[in-house]
Chains A and B, each alone.
Chain A
Amino acid sequence: MKIVHIAATAVLSLCLAGIAQAGQTFEAVKKRGFVQCGVSTNLPGFAFTDGKGEWQGIDVDTCRAIAAAMFGDAKKFKVVPLTTQARFTALQSGEVDVLTRNTTQTMSRDTTLGLIGVGVNFYDSQGIMVTKDANVTSAKNLAGATICVLPGTTTELNLTDWFRGLKMSFKPVLLDTVDEIKRAFASGRCDGITMDKSQLALARINYGNADKYVILPEALSKEPLGPMVRQGDEAWFNVVRWSLNALLEAEEYNLTSKNVDEVVKSNTAPHIQRILGTTPGMGKGLGLDDKWAYNIIKQVGNYGEIFDRSLGAASPMKLDRGLNALYNKGGLMYGWPIR
């Protein structure tokens, strides 16, 4: 039995050596040569495939930014589309290196899953959409309503909390995909649907007759959406966090994918030179090339550019920047100083 025991222990430790990646994600990604990001299966504006079959959206571009920082090439990434149910397991098990998947950062997710939120790439809030002929002007007079909702997200809990707080009854109908929910709502199976407001805005456009639907003004929740990584690898955490900040810093200093080459040649402001790597030293601590932020801006763009093409003026959604405007333009987006 002793021999069996020793053999089993040996096998066990060998296997663990293969799986255990605590503190080694950074090395693993570097060795593999591309980043694997978990994204939504199909969420217009965040992660979706365009007419050419290319993945687009704000979450995919966040992934591109990480790839550009890591390898100097924004194409060195692979997306793994994940359902809400599978997303955390996929990150925990190492199937993906980072989750850029429209995921709300909450305390319980930071403290019980072995994962950690890195930052925010979109500030959202949950809303309820009803039909115009329901004659409802506020989410406070929805007592007894039937609401369609996606299962297994914070959305479901916020909805329940909202009605519980007002001591009103309601009936949830849980449908597994956004398309099913839209269909059920269009046919009148539910009085309202609830999602993050960015999604509601898109759903409203997709129906074709946007005037028929009203997004009620109340915000049911705060939804800071952002990337998550596994706990225990600060080097990798830093790459993701500072890639996000580089996007915001770039927008604040008007560095765009179009002008960044000009700026590198002409601008002598020290903070700009630090970001763009003309003054060396910033990349070293990250374990990356000094040109890491330049590569992000050149190949992906700054946060404003990403927002515009995914969700803003240049997209069918035409969302206002709102909370996602820079701090000096009345929003919450505030890039930490790269120095």
Chain B
Amino acid sequence: MTSPQRVRLRLSWQHPEFRAILYQIIVVGLVALAAWYLISNTLHNLAMRNIATGFGFLDREAGFAIGESVIAYSPSDTYRRAILVGIVNTLRVSVIGLVFATILGVVIGIARLSSNWLVSRLASCYVEFIRNVPLLLQLLIWYAIVVELLPGTRSALHPLPGVYMSNRGLLIPSIEGPSVLAVAIALGLALLASALIARGQRVAQRTTGKQYRFWPWLAGLCLALPLAGWMLTGQEMHVEVPHRTGFNFEGGWALSPELFALLVGLITYTAGFIAEIVRAGIQAVDRGQWEAAQSLSLPRGRVLRLVILPQALRVIVPPTTSQYLNLIKNSSLAVAIGYPDLVAVVNTTLNQTGQAIEGILIIMGAYMTVSLAVSLLMNWYNKRIALVER
């Protein structure tokens, strides 16, 4: 309204702005109408066929067992709890998978650019093989390897004291007791504090030019804080060694073959794609940047870390976000190898209750929430590293 070129909005067809607004209103209206029609039609049809609807079933007893769970669960819990177990299991795979796929992907991506012929060829072969075989097949292969090649429980491999490997999974001694949580939290705090100190040191180095030592801080914090946690919570910690009872092992920490196969499959598969993205990102940085940095006599590793990667990240982050989302969604293939993820649990639920539409809505909602959260996080990171134009 302020600029002189702009004409006052008039309600007439001759006015382009009015037309544009009207078209948009019509489109939104049509979309809303279509949604309303589909929903009401569905509800009507369900009612006509006497099919129960609604989310009331979530509070009924589930009555089925779940193979592995991070949180406490028993068959007498509700469907709500069972689905929560599924969500936590999916998150567990996703988080571990994202971290390791990223590490492996970066390593292989850099290896592809190595000047060593053998290393770069091997990395290329890996990428080509992994990218061109369907993920489901790879998962089944990993699962078959674990289940078929490892011996049964009776003749479990016993490479180290307290460590057992069999086709029931890997068992290692676990640390039990009330102090465990306190120590773990203290360790987390120590790492966080170290990161903050490192940051402070970097800022100080920029202003004063002096280099500060970081490792004494790290070592000191990582020893002192957990020790304090252990002292404060009554020094109750003991190692629990797995031992055989009847059919299975009791005690210790177990990694099931299903989880192992799913993790290895997802990590190796996604790493292949991330490797390509990393390679492309590094090659997108102008050759001159290398030469300029090397003329300052920086060693190759530092050139990569300080000059090349920060610029390459701008190319790397957006496509990597899609790969992250792919990994999360691909984790639903767990159904095929018997890992009780969200989809597996909801499948069972909707079979027992017959509430297919509600079940699918829950799956969609859960994946949407997780994926959008990852997207937001990555977009925020992407903005942070974006080229600041001065």
Residues of A within 8 A of B (CB): 4, 8, 11-12, 15-16, 19-20, 22, 84-85, 88-89, 92, 108-109, 112-114, 134, 142-146, 148, 151-153, 156-157, 159-161, 163-164, 170-176, 180, 183-184, 187-189, 191, 230-232
In the complex, the answer to whether B348 meets A188 with C-beta atoms within 8 Å is no
With beta carbons under 8 angstroms apart, the residue of A15, A159, A174 that contacts B338 is A174
> Can you add 19 more A-B contacts, CB < 8 Å, to A175-B337, A188-B152?
A8-B36, A16-B41, A16-B44, A84-B351, A89-B356, A112-B353, A113-B52, A142-B247, A143-B247, A144-B250, A146-B248, A151-B335, A160-B64, A171-B67, A173-B258, A174-B344, A175-B338, A183-B148, A231-B50
Contacts of B351 in A (CB 8 A): 84-85, 151-153
In the complex, the answer to whether B347 meets A88 with C-beta atoms within 8 Å is no
Residues of B within 8 A of A (CB): 33, 36-37, 40-41, 44-46, 48-52, 63-68, 75-76, 144, 147-148, 151-153, 167-168, 245-248, 250, 257-258, 335-338, 340, 344, 347-348, 350-354, 356
In the complex, the answer to whether A187 meets B51 with C-beta atoms within 8 Å is no
In the complex, the answer to whether B37 meets A171 with C-beta atoms within 8 Å is no
24 contacts between A and B (CB under 8 A): A8-B37, A11-B37, A12-B40, A12-B41, A12-B44, A20-B45, A22-B49, A112-B52, A114-B49, A145-B246, A151-B335, A151-B347, A152-B348, A156-B64, A156-B348, A157-B63, A161-B63, A164-B75, A171-B65, A171-B67, A173-B67, A176-B338, A187-B147, A230-B49
In the complex, the answer to whether A145 meets B247 with C-beta atoms within 8 Å is yes
Contacts of A180 in B (CB 8 A): 336, 338
The residue on B at minimum CB distance from A133 is B154
In the complex, the answer to whether B246 meets A22 with C-beta atoms within 8 Å is no
Contacts of B347 in A (CB 8 A): 85, 151-152
In the complex, the answer to whether A151 meets B246 with C-beta atoms within 8 Å is no
In the complex, the answer to whether B350 meets A160 with C-beta atoms within 8 Å is no
Secondary structure class of chain A's binding surface, majority of residues: mixed
Interface centre among B50, B51, B247 (most CB of A within 10 A): B247
Contacts of B167 in A (CB 8 A): 187-189
In the complex, the answer to whether A143 meets B49 with C-beta atoms within 8 Å is no
Measured CA separation A176–B46 after assembly (Å): 28
In the complex, the answer to whether B50 meets A145 with C-beta atoms within 8 Å is no
Task: For the complex formed, measure the closest distance between the CB of B72 and the CB atoms of chain A, giving whole angstroms.
Answer: 13
In the complex, the answer to whether A92 meets B51 with C-beta atoms within 8 Å is yes
In the complex, the answer to whether B75 meets A189 with C-beta atoms within 8 Å is no
Known: A156-B348, A161-B63. A171 touches B248 (CB 8 A): yes
Contacts of B65 in A (CB 8 A): 159-160, 163, 170-172
The residue on A at minimum CB distance from B30 is A4
The residue on A at minimum CB distance from B352 is A157
Measured CA separation A184–B336 after assembly (Å): 12
Contacts of B152 in A (CB 8 A): 188
In the complex, the answer to whether B75 meets A160 with C-beta atoms within 8 Å is yes
Measured CA separation A174–B45 after assembly (Å): 33
Task: For the complex formed, measure the closest distance between the CB of B157 and the CB atoms of chain A, giving whole angstroms.
Answer: 13
Contacts of B245 in A (CB 8 A): 144
Task: For the complex formed, measure the closest distance between the CB of A233 and the CB atoms of chain B, giving whole angstroms.
Answer: 11
Measured CA separation A85–B245 after assembly (Å): 36
Measured CA separation A230–B351 after assembly (Å): 17
The residue on A at minimum CB distance from B340 is A174
Measured CA separation A172–B74 after assembly (Å): 12
With beta carbons under 8 angstroms apart, the residue of B40, B63, B168, B340 that contacts A160 is B63
In the complex, the answer to whether A157 meets B338 with C-beta atoms within 8 Å is no
Task: For the complex formed, measure the closest distance between the CB of A286 and the CB atoms of chain B, giving whole angstroms.
Answer: 24
In the complex, the answer to whether B247 meets A187 with C-beta atoms within 8 Å is no
Task: For the complex formed, measure the closest distance between the CB of A240 and the CB atoms of chain B, giving whole angstroms.
Answer: 18
Interface centre among B64, B65, B152, B352 (most CB of A within 10 A): B65
In the complex, the answer to whether B41 meets A109 with C-beta atoms within 8 Å is no
The residue on B at minimum CB distance from A175 is B338
Contacts of A175 in B (CB 8 A): 337-338
Task: For the complex formed, measure the closest distance between the CB of B348 and the CB atoms of chain A, giving whole angstroms.
Answer: 5
Measured CA separation A96–B167 after assembly (Å): 42
Contacts of B257 in A (CB 8 A): 189
Contacts of A144 in B (CB 8 A): 245-248, 250
Measured CA separation A184–B64 after assembly (Å): 21
With beta carbons under 8 angstroms apart, the residue of A12, A112, A145, A152 that contacts B37 is A12
In the complex, the answer to whether A112 meets B51 with C-beta atoms within 8 Å is yes
